[in-house]
A and B are shown apart, each in its own frame.
Chain A
Amino acid sequence: MTDNGVMLGVRGLTKHFNISNAWFSKPLLLHAVDDLNFDLRRGQTLGVVGESGSGKSTLARLLLKLIPATAGTVTYKGRDILPLKERQSGEIRRDMQMIFQDPYASLDPRVRVGDAIAEPLREHRLFKTQKEVKEHVARMLERVGLQREMVTRFPHEFSGGQHQRINIARALAMNPRLIICDEAVSALDVSVQAQVLNLFAQLKEEFNLTYVFISHDLSVVKFVSDEIIVMYLGEVMEHASSRQLFERTAHPYTRALISAIPNPDPTVRKQRILLEGDIPGAVNLPKGCRFQSRCFMAREDCRDAHPELRELEPGHFVRCHYAQPGIGEA
């Protein structure tokens, strides 16, 4: 491969929604994702974390071409995939699979589990005979910790965690290279969430998978990711290796996010940074920094000058005029 192992390259990816519903009035733009850039290498996991309105779910839908981008490119193994027609993107649609949040909504209640997993296999003609398809489906079910006899069952016979396993089996059956998880464990109970997270980790080793892992839960993202992007109102606030992000936190928003997570260790009574006010909507954005309305460090010029993403130290990017590693540390 000529592209030094970069699986997924994203450049200037932007999505604006026009949310004005009048016929002839001027467009009202919602900045869902603005100028996003990253390179994801084979076998790595990129975590994307953010709160409501951060644009993290829009990102997932952009990568899978479920919605058209306003601007920017997405390259898969060096090839720009956004302009590709449905017909030309067969291989890519096979290679990139998605696992959604709601385990219940993503399976058709009237389709047997075996058929749900087999359907994309048949569509892409990955196997010559029906027997091979059946055998593959059964193997995948076993691989995610279910029994091969379960192929004939209907989705309602399974629990939430099992649903998510079936979704994983369906994604895995296509022999994908890249899996995009959008809040894939958020609806699960703690004990089941741990099982699914462990399964993700094992599969990553076994199949040399690459993940984009999107979640609102920073603890989960930290657990699975090699590299993390923190988004706020459509923009990357901080982008660093998992280690740098937590040990050398630079952006005040990241700092506040980390400090807001309730810690189950009662001996740690940390000083919490409470952000003021609500998360604003991503329309009518301020001229300066998008976070300044809630920032505990905001100064005069944050209101006027829009900060660019800058490399603070090698591989550690931050969008803040005053960021420095270890900021706001108690």
Chain B
Amino acid sequence: MPDILRFDNFRLDLQDDEGRRYNLLDDISFTLPEGKALGIVGESGCGKSITSLAVMRLLPAAARVTGGSVSLKGMDLMSKTPKEMGDIRGRDVAMVFQDPMTCLNPVLTIGLQIGEAIRRHNPQMAEPELKAATLELLHKVGIPNPEKRMKNYPHQFSGGMRQRTMIAMAIACSPALLIADEATTALDVTIQAQVLDLMVRLKEGGSLMFITHNLGIVAEVCDEVTVMYAGQIVEAGTVEEVFLHPAHPYTKGLLLALPTLRSKGNTLYNIPGVVPTVRNFTPGCRYAPRCDYKLPVCSERKPARCVLNDRHHAACYLYEEVMA
């Protein structure tokens, strides 16, 4: 199966106002096979959102790419001109962002905002056709009464309907890859369930990349998962492998720290300390300061990627002997 998306040793720094640089993404490598759903999980500040923005080349002004490559359908994205990138965005890759309250323009109608997503890559389309296509999209994402609704403004929509609108815009040109960045985090649980269901149904033959802190969503929606901590990939594999046999101490801790409907007893597993900010990243494995299994070498050198089996690997010295 060909890979739709491929990160190779991608490195990215953040530069502050005084010009100091801090490494955020440290040799990020992963692939997303075509037609699959990949989840990228981690807590806040782990670099998962910036990884997804790199695919769109919509990085914040403070970001500096310092190495590696990102390729989409075999195209090297970092070498594209802004104009070429404009042709790729929306057509080959599209994105649904976190906060549906702020991601829609408050002074433009829903119909216009969906319509312009279609028009960008179908400039020859005439007005009646465009309107029909917009209605079709609204219908597809389950917005009742589309004729009337397309004349509404975002503030007249509920949170769930706005996120449906965002999805309609994202799938307007049937992109090969759809990225959802915490797309359901701001929604109520029962609405989140609807939106997740919608995204999975609309995926059809396309590929999905789910950025989330919610392990449950990954388990239910994704085929593969990549776990990030402080800008490093700590573990990756199929959802079954990683969730049932977590290898990295961070993944294990995360799964144990999460209260679930099945949690027993009155104490959760405690990962000591806090997620560091980019200014406080430590050398070596960045999880080492919080790790229960820390070895002296962990704070000196970053562990290599250890292959546990063909569907599972982790970056941790505990598994070095597996490689040897």
Q: Is the CB of B266 within 8 A of A201?
A: yes
Interface locus among B10-18, B61-69, B166-174, B249-257: B249-257
Which of A191, A193, A222, A266 contacts B261, CB < 8 Å?
A: A222
B102: Cβ under 8 A from any A Cβ: no
Known pairs A51-B190, A52-B188; A223 contacts B259 (CB<8 A): yes
Closest to A189 in B: B43
- Cα A194 to Cα B270 with chains together (Å): 6
Q: Is the CB of A216 within 8 A of B259?
A: no
Q: Is the CB of A265 within 8 A of B243?
A: yes
A198: Cβ under 8 A from any B Cβ: yes
- Interface hub of B188, B213, B240, B243 (most chain A Cβ within 10 A): B188
A314: Cβ under 8 A from any B Cβ: no
Query: Within 8 Å CB of B216, what residues of A?
Result: 261-264
- Cα A275 to Cα B43 with chains together (Å): 29
- Cα A310 to Cα B243 with chains together (Å): 41
B244: Cβ under 8 A from any A Cβ: yes
A92: Cβ under 8 A from any B Cβ: no
The number of chain A residues with a CB under 8 A from chain B is 41
CB distance from A16 to the nearest CB of B (A): 22
Which of A194, A197, A216, A266 contacts B219, CB < 8 Å?
A: A266
B310: Cβ under 8 A from any A Cβ: no
B191: Cβ under 8 A from any A Cβ: yes
Query: Within 8 Å CB of A272, what residues of B?
Result: 193, 197
B53: Cβ under 8 A from any A Cβ: no
Contact with B along A220-256 (1 / 0, CB 8 A): 1011000000000000000000000010000000001
Query: Within 8 Å CB of A265, what residues of B?
Result: 219, 243, 260, 262
Query: Within 8 Å CB of A98, what residues of B?
Result: none
Q: Is the CB of A190 within 8 A of B258?
A: yes
CB distance from A256 to the nearest CB of B (A): 6
- Interface hub of A201, A222, A263, A264 (most chain B Cβ within 10 A): A264
- Cα A279 to Cα B189 with chains together (Å): 11
A278: Cβ under 8 A from any B Cβ: yes
Q: Is the CB of B259 within 8 A of A201?
A: no
Q: Is the CB of A192 within 8 A of B274?
A: yes
Query: Within 8 Å CB of A223, what residues of B?
Result: 259, 263, 266, 268
Q: Is the CB of A278 within 8 A of B260?
A: no
Which of A162, A189, A219 contacts B260, CB < 8 Å?
A: A219
Known pairs A52-B188, A272-B193; A218 contacts B261 (CB<8 A): yes
- Cα A19 to Cα B217 with chains together (Å): 37
Which of B43, B159, B267 contacts A190, CB < 8 Å?
A: B43
Known pairs A190-B43, A193-B257, A262-B214; A279 contacts B263 (CB<8 A): no
A101: Cβ under 8 A from any B Cβ: no
Query: Within 8 Å CB of B253, what residues of A?
Result: 191
CB distance from A236 to the nearest CB of B (A): 17
Query: Within 8 Å CB of B269, what residues of A?
Result: 194
Count of CB-CB pairs between chains A and B under 8 Å: 130
Q: Is the CB of A51 within 8 A of B188?
A: yes
Q: Is the CB of A190 within 8 A of B219?
A: no
B161: Cβ under 8 A from any A Cβ: yes
Q: Is the CB of A262 within 8 A of B188?
A: no
CB distance from A217 to the nearest CB of B (A): 8
B215: Cβ under 8 A from any A Cβ: yes
Q: Is the CB of B219 within 8 A of A274?
A: no
Q: Which of B200-251 contact A (CB under 8 A)?
A: 213-221, 239-240, 243-244
CB distance from B135 to the nearest CB of A (A): 20
Known pairs A262-B214, A279-B191; A267 contacts B244 (CB<8 A): yes
Which of B196, B243, B258, B272 contacts A266, CB < 8 Å?
A: B243
A175: Cβ under 8 A from any B Cβ: no
Q: Is the CB of B188 within 8 A of A263?
A: no
Known pairs A189-B275, A261-B216, A278-B158; A195 contacts B243 (CB<8 A): no
Q: Is the CB of B243 within 8 A of A264?
A: yes
CB distance from A230 to the nearest CB of B (A): 12
- Cα A258 to Cα B269 with chains together (Å): 23
Q: Which of A264-310 contact B (CB under 8 A)?
A: 264-267, 269, 272, 274-275, 278-279, 294
Q: Is the CB of B275 within 8 A of A222?
A: no
Q: Is the CB of B239 within 8 A of A216?
A: no
Query: Within 8 Å CB of B240, what residues of A?
Result: 266-267
Query: Within 8 Å CB of B290, what residues of A?
Result: 191
Q: Is the CB of A51 within 8 A of B189?
A: yes
Closest to B192 in A: A260
Query: Within 8 Å CB of A190, what residues of B?
Result: 43, 213, 215, 254, 257-258
- Cα A264 to Cα B244 with chains together (Å): 10
Q: Is the CB of A261 within 8 A of B189?
A: yes
Q: Is the CB of B275 within 8 A of A219?
A: no
Which of A189, A194, A259 contacts B213, CB < 8 Å?
A: A189
- B binding-site residues for A, Cβ under 8 Å: 43-44, 158-161, 188-194, 196-197, 213-221, 239-240, 243-244, 253-255, 257-263, 266-272, 274-275, 290
- A binding-site residues for B, Cβ under 8 Å: 51-52, 159, 161-162, 189-195, 197-198, 201, 216, 218-220, 222-223, 246, 256-267, 269, 272, 274-275, 278-279, 294
- 19 A-B contacts, Cβ less than 8 Å apart? A159-B275, A162-B274, A189-B44, A189-B213, A189-B275, A190-B43, A191-B257, A191-B271, A192-B274, A222-B259, A223-B263, A257-B190, A261-B261, A262-B214, A263-B261, A272-B193, A274-B197, A279-B191, A294-B190
